[in-house]
Chains A and B, each alone.
Chain A
């Protein structure tokens, strides 16, 4: 396949993922509304919000980093997409630019967007942003630990850091969920924090600290943040799908699996109320961390 064909497939995939992410966030809000007994937003609301944000006439800035914050976030989202194999089939159309060791890069891109936002929102000077950033980074550190331990356990199990090889191994041996349940449990518990829904949504708590890091962001800045958020949610679901649930061989399978993984966190969210930050950090340091350590020990000896 030529590089141009590869680029074409990647852009098409990015477009699909962006729209699927917007649809997922609309469905998420619809489900939360139905649980609360409301009718909820129209399913096309995120797209209208995006156009509305682009149509805002006033844009003001607090400096260069303020501009770059959303750009970094979008870079993180697109970077995660570029190095994530979307579909693992015999033809290599939807592998994007995945390569040996792509897991490390994807984990890095996950953090990259957050750090970029931290710098950008920090320059905004809004105290609420600073509180949100502090909480976000503290929670992210607590989430990363069990997540990384679980992923390392998988790396030892399959003797590779390549997502494509992990998926191919699962297509022969069966899902990691069954072959390595301890690591899967650690990863899926950490996934709750990675998605950032309730009970781990204090970072953006709209009532206590108005909307967290993006407090100062408006108009097209916010539009960029919204679209990168949509991509990130799909990509995180795709990461867990590739690691634990055998990857996908068609877009239908991709959509069903990412939907179920994302909505696992949504359903946990509508059942459990929000944790305070010290509670959520401690929570990740208990069961998920212990499971992560056990998962490593099991495959080390």
Chain B
């Protein structure tokens, strides 16, 4: 197939896709380059692509059973003594995190470290108010973290909306959308409160109750329905590996 022929064919396909898009009744938030469509491969054959599901796994999460007895206790002890926090400041509360890691409060003493990538973290601090726009990113990051994973909800805004209780753009109750392990109340809670929250999280993990990831997997449909209720421009797969 010559290059000119290929261009013609490509234009034809694009026109077809445009026509399809304009006849759709519901408004789609999926970007044009992410839409399901037909493309021409280098050898001239026509293939179907669906970028969202080609790049990510659309599979539902499954419950991952903990080990049994002493082994799980030992592993839980290790998990509790090595908490890697995702460095994602979601709201104003993230201003409390730098003093937590620097000389005055030095959370490194307790095995708490920041990690820059969700793949390597197992704790997520939702720091304060969560706008719907950020919630979308938070869900994506949370789902990319490997199990077992924990969520610390920092500040009153995550409990009942706090001072943003009637805002059009923030969510009020975090645990409708993601499973929360520890709440730290206050506006803003000081780093001492955050440290106390971490100690509480350690207790929870050591007692074997830090199974947020499994709770999320068990009640996945419910969580997803709640998330989709507030996130109107849903343009990602339902589950982001």
- Could you tell me which A residues sit within 8 Å of B by CB distance? 33, 36-42, 45, 48-49, 51-52, 55-60, 128, 206-207, 210-211, 214-219, 222
Q: Which of B64, B109, B115 contacts A41 (CB 8 A)?
A: B109
Report if B106 contacts A (CB, 8 A). Answer: yes
Can you list 10 A-B contacts with CB-CB less than 8 angstroms, sorted by A residue number?
A39-B106, A45-B82, A55-B75, A56-B147, A56-B148, A60-B241, A211-B117, A215-B119, A216-B117, A216-B119
Q: How far is the CB of B89 from chain A (nearest CB, A)?
A: 13
| A207 cross-chain contacts in B, Cβ below 8 A | 116
| A51 cross-chain contacts in B, Cβ below 8 A | 74-75, 78, 82
Cβ–Cβ contact A206 & B116, under 8 A: yes
Q: Which of B64, B81, B109, B113 contacts A58 (CB 8 A)?
A: B64
The complex places the Cα of A210 from the Cα of B102 at a distance, in Å, of 20
Q: When A42-B111, A58-B146 are in contact, do A48 and B116 touch as well, CB less than 8 Å?
A: no
Cβ–Cβ contact A48 & B147, under 8 A: no
Instruction: Tell me the chain B residues, 38-80 only, with Cβ under 8 Å from chain A.
Output: 64, 66, 74-75, 78-79
Report if B120 contacts A (CB, 8 A). Answer: yes
Cβ–Cβ contact A56 & B122, under 8 A: yes
- Could you tell me which B residues sit within 8 Å of A by CB distance? 64, 66, 74-75, 78-79, 81-82, 84, 102-103, 106, 108-109, 111, 113, 115-117, 119-120, 122, 146-148, 213, 241
Cβ–Cβ contact B120 & A41, under 8 A: no
| A52 cross-chain contacts in B, Cβ below 8 A | 78-79, 81-82, 84, 122
10 shortest A-B CB distances, which residue pairs?
A210-B116, A58-B146, A51-B78, A52-B82, A55-B75, A37-B103, A218-B119, A57-B64, A210-B117, A58-B147
Q: How far is the CB of B142 from chain A (nearest CB, A)?
A: 12
Cβ–Cβ contact B119 & A217, under 8 A: yes
Cβ–Cβ contact B103 & A211, under 8 A: no
Q: How far is the CB of A161 from chain B (nearest CB, A)?
A: 40
| B147 cross-chain contacts in A, Cβ below 8 A | 56-58
Cβ–Cβ contact A49 & B120, under 8 A: no
Cβ–Cβ contact B82 & A48, under 8 A: yes
Most chain A Cβ neighbours within 10 Å, of B115, B120, B147: B120
The complex places the Cα of A177 from the Cα of B231 at a distance, in Å, of 66
Q: When A36-B103, A48-B78, A58-B146 are in contact, do A218 and B111 touch as well, CB less than 8 Å?
A: no
Cβ–Cβ contact A42 & B119, under 8 A: no
| A37 cross-chain contacts in B, Cβ below 8 A | 103
The complex places the Cα of A128 from the Cα of B75 at a distance, in Å, of 31
Q: How far is the CB of B139 from chain A (nearest CB, A)?
A: 16
Most chain B Cβ neighbours within 10 Å, of A38, A128, A214, A217: A38
Q: How far is the CB of B98 from chain A (nearest CB, A)?
A: 12
| B148 cross-chain contacts in A, Cβ below 8 A | 56-57
Q: Which of A42, A55, A206 contacts B79 (CB 8 A)?
A: A55
| A48 cross-chain contacts in B, Cβ below 8 A | 78, 81-82, 111
Q: How far is the CB of A220 from chain B (nearest CB, A)?
A: 10
| A219 cross-chain contacts in B, Cβ below 8 A | 146
| A45 cross-chain contacts in B, Cβ below 8 A | 82, 111
Q: How far is the CB of B17 from chain A (nearest CB, A)?
A: 26
Cβ–Cβ contact A40 & B109, under 8 A: yes
For B75, give the chain A residue with the smallest CB separation: A55
Cβ–Cβ contact A211 & B115, under 8 A: yes
Q: How far is the CB of B79 from chain A (nearest CB, A)?
A: 6
The complex places the Cα of A172 from the Cα of B97 at a distance, in Å, of 57
Cβ–Cβ contact A33 & B108, under 8 A: yes
Q: How far is the CB of A295 from chain B (nearest CB, A)?
A: 40
Cβ–Cβ contact B79 & A38, under 8 A: no
Cβ–Cβ contact B120 & A42, under 8 A: no
Q: When A41-B108, A41-B111, A58-B64 are in contact, do A218 and B120 touch as well, CB less than 8 Å?
A: yes
Cβ–Cβ contact B111 & A211, under 8 A: no
For B148, give the chain A residue with the smallest CB separation: A57
| A49 cross-chain contacts in B, Cβ below 8 A | 82
Q: How far is the CB of B102 from chain A (nearest CB, A)?
A: 7
| B79 cross-chain contacts in A, Cβ below 8 A | 52, 55
| B115 cross-chain contacts in A, Cβ below 8 A | 211
| A217 cross-chain contacts in B, Cβ below 8 A | 119-120
